[in-house]
């Protein structure tokens, strides 16, 4: 007999097939039992009728408990009443693994309880939907960069340098040397861009940030493109095309997941329309002050209420350009006519989801870069390889980093970033 996945049921209407699944839920009366079946590809209903299967199989079906694993045999039928559109008329049920007192029941549970049971919570329909969107964002990322002539390059995870500042580092022993978990692959991606032109990375990054917010993870995944012979204006175009492509592909391929999450698709469609608005840091500060924010002045970094207010002034993601030099990393290229700001941009997502991209044009001049390295208290010796890139055929180059989980949180429309990654590492949590 043919073993199929639930998602493929539409191709087997009228045929008898076998499905390996878990029982997500069950309702039964004296003569009929309805099994809510889950196999990781989709959910659908299985119907067991006592008169059709006989006493023994019906009793087995009636006794199934939540999360019991089963092999179901039956005929696929159309089911116009369900969202999925198909069901299975069951002729046999074989129990594979029993499940007793499954801790996550259909009733409401507190967040801590669910986080303690993350290994099981992942089986729920909402978490499944979020992971489908995560999968699509990753798939579309590779498609976008492959379509646009980028080469995927993998920077190291264990490093000797700290590109995004030295306070948020995870330190570890590298034999008799100190090493850090990567905060960003950028510096290595700059080397790769000088070797291969247009490159992108996709990998885990680590920040020992003491922030307990709904936007921060300790371990998160970042996509970092880096482009040789490219100024910031062109990089912004790549960024908005990339983000619009992600949203477009989720709309095209994740209809079911967006329905489960009750995401407003009309809103998402707006985010695919280019260009995205651009506002300078100066103008953003002025906008905030004009609207009664008295807790911010020129030179400060934005907090989450500031970013949310700025985002709400636009209908689409918005680029904030040219931040003060003093609050940005050492490698950013200074503005050509002003020495207090750098050529950079953050992309702020709508609806209060905050910064999803940070990027900039990079300093290309050897001497200027060395001054910056010293000013930031970094070691000239440790960064000599990075300085080399300015010694041998230095070119204008720009790049950016998109926080995968920030993007997923926003596109999914969920409350908290912890649900955008299978096993979140948070300030007070490294379990399970
Ligand atoms: O703005 P960030 O720190 O930029 C960089 O790391 C650059 N080196 C990127 C580059 O130019 N190649 O981080 C980039 C993005 C942020 O915009 C945000 O989306 C995400 O990474 N991010 C986090 N996501 C989850 N949890 C955290 N603690 C994050 N910190 C940054
Ligand atoms: Mg940033």
How high is the pLDDT of residue 166?
67
Q: Which atom of ligand 1 is nearest to the CA of 186?
A: 12
Give me 62's structure tokens. 């009636």
Distance 293 CA to ligand 2 centre (A): 22
Mutate to test the pocket of ligand 1, among 406, 410, 414 (most ligand atoms within 8 A of CB): 406
207 lines ligand 1 (CB under 6 A): yes
Encoded tokens for 145: 């960069």
Show the tokens assigned to 144. Answer: 């976008």
Distance, in Å, from the CA atom of 181 to the CA atom of 392, rounded to the nearest integer, reads: 28
Angle, to 10 degrees, between the axis of helix 281-290 and the axis of helix 304-312? 90
DSSP E strands, 151-218: 151-152, 158-159, 171-174, 177-181, 198-206
- For position 304, what pLDDT does the model report? 95
Q: Please provide the size of the chain in residues.
A: 432
Distance of CA 246 to the CA centre of its chain: 11
Cα of 206 vs centre of ligand 1, distance in Å, is: 10
- The answer, yes or no, to whether any atom of ligand 1 lies below 6 A from the CB of 193, is no
Ligand 1 atom at minimum distance from 401 CA: 9
Q: In what order do the strands lie in the sheet with 158-159?
A: 158-159, 177-181, 171-174
Nearest to 373 by CA among 158, 155, 156, 163: 163
Strands (DSSP E) along 246-288, which ranges? 278-280
| CATH number listed for the domain at residues 6-97 | 2.40.50.140
pLDDT score for 165: 67
**CA nearest neighbour of 58 among 17, 99, 26, 98:** 26
Give the CA distances from residue 394 to residues 20, 70, 104, 191, 235, in Å, rounded to whole numbers and listed in that order.
Answer: 57, 61, 57, 10, 18
| Predicted model pTM | 0.97
In this predicted model, what pLDDT tens digit does every residue of 376-399 receive, in sequence order? 988 899 899 999 999 999 999 999
| CA 66 – ligand 1 centroid, Å | 40
Element (H, E) at 320: strand 318-321
Q: What are the angstrom distances between the C-alpha of 417 and each of 131, 141, 259?
A: 12, 19, 19
For residue 331, give both structure tokens.
């490698």
Neighbours of 79 (CB within 10 A): 17
Tell me the domain boundaries of the chain: 6-97, 118-420
Per-residue tens of pLDDT for the chain, all 432 residues: 899 999 999 999 999 999 999 999 999 999 999 999 999 999 999 999 999 999 999 999 999 999 999 999 999 999 999 889 999 999 999 999 999 999 999 889 999 999 999 999 999 999 999 999 999 999 999 999 999 999 999 999 999 876 666 678 999 999 998 899 999 999 999 999 999 999 999 999 999 989 889 999 999 999 999 999 999 999 999 999 999 999 999 999 999 999 999 999 999 999 999 999 999 999 999 999 999 999 999 999 999 999 999 999 999 999 999 999 999 999 999 999 999 999 999 999 999 999 999 999 999 999 999 999 999 988 899 899 999 999 999 999 999 999 999 999 999 999 999 999 999 999 999 999
Q: What is the CATH number of domain 118-420?
A: 3.30.930.10
Write the residue with the smallest CA distance to atom 6 of ligand 1: 184
Tens digit of each residue's pLDDT (9 = 90 or more) over 324-335: 999 999 999 999
Distance 35 CA to ligand 2 centre (A): 47
Q: Is the CB of 332 under 6 A from ligand 1?
A: no
Q: Which residues contact 330 (CB under 8 A, 6 or more apart)?
A: 369, 372, 373, 375, 376, 378
Contact 190, 224 (CB under 8 A): no
Closest C-alpha residue for ligand 1 atom 7:
401
225 lines ligand 1 (CB under 6 A): no
Note whether 341 and 325 are within 8 A (CB): yes
Cα–ligand 2 centroid distance for 101 (angstroms):
45
Q: Which residue do the tokens 């050529």 mark? A: 343
Q: What is the pLDDT of residue 160?
A: 83
The answer to whether 212 and 426 have CB atoms below 8 angstroms apart is yes
For residue 334, the CA-to-ligand 2 centroid distance in Å is: 17
186 within ligand 1 shell (Cβ under 6 A):
yes
Distance 393 CA to ligand 2 centre (A): 28
Q: Measured over all CA atoms, what is the biggest interatomic distance in the chain, rounded to whole angstroms?
A: 85
307 Cβ inside 6 Å of ligand 1:
no
Q: Which residue has the tokens 């100066």?
A: 282
What residue owns the CA closest to ligand 1's atom 24?
Answer: 403
Q: Which of 149, 153, 226 is nearest to 190 (CA)?
A: 226
- CB environment 317-336: b (16+ within 10 A), e (fewer): bbbbbbbbbeebbbbbbbbe
């Amino acid at each position: 007999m043919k073993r199929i996945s639930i998602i493929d049921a539409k191709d087997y209407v009228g045929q008898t097939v076998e499905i390996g699944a878990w029982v997500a839920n069950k309702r039964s009366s004296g003569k009929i039992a309805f099994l809510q079946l889950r196999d990781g590809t989709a959910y659908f209903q299985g119907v067991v009728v006592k008169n059709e299967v006989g006493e023994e199989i019906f009793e087995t079906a009636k006794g199934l408990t939540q999360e019991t694993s089963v092999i179901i045999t039956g005929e696929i039928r159309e089911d116009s009443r369900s969202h999925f559109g198909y069901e299975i008329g069951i002729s046999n049920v074989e129990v594979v693994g029993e499940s007793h007192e499954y801790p996550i029941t259909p009733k409401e549970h507190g967040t801590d309880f669910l986080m303690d049971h993350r290994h099981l919570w992942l089986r729920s329909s909402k978490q499944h939907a979020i992971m489908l969107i995560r999968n699509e964002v990753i798939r579309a990322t590779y498609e976008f960069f492959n379509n646009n002539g980028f080469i995927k390059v993998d920077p190291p995870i264990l490093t000797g340098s700290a590109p995004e500042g030295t306070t948020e580092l995870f330190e570890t022993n590298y034999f008799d040397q100190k090493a850090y978990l990567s905060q960003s692959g950028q510096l290595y991606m700059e080397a790769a861009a000088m070797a291969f032109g247009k490159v992108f990375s996709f990998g885990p990054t680590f920040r020992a940030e003491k922030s307990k917010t709904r936007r921060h993870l300790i371990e998160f995944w970042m996509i970092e493109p880096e482009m040789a012979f490219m100024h910031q204006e062109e990089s912004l175009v790549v960024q908005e095309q990339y983000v619009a492509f992600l949203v477009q592909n989720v709309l095209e391929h994740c209809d079911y997941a967006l329905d489960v999450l009750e995401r407003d698709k009309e809103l998402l469609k707006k985010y695919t329309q280019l260009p995205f608005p651009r506002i300078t840091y100066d103008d953003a500060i002025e906008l905030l002050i004009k609207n009664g924010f008295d807790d911010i002045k020129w030179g400060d970094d934005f907090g989450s209420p500031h970013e949310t207010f700025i985002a709400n002034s636009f209908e689409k993601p918005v680029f904030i350009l040219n931040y003060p030099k003093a609050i940005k990393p050492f490698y950013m290229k200074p503005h050509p006519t002003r020495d207090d700001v750098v050529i950079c941009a953050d992309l702020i997502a709508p609806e209060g989801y905050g910064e999803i991209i940070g990027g900039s044009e990079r300093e290309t001049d050897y001497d200027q870069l060395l001054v910056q390295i010293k000013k930031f208290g970094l070691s000239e010796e440790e960064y000599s390889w990075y300085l080399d890139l300015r010694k041998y055929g230095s070119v204008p180059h720009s790049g950016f980093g998109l926080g995968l989980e920030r993007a997923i949180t926003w596109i999914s429309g969920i409350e908290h970033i912890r649900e955008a990654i299978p096993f979140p590492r948070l300030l007070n949590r490294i379990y399970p």
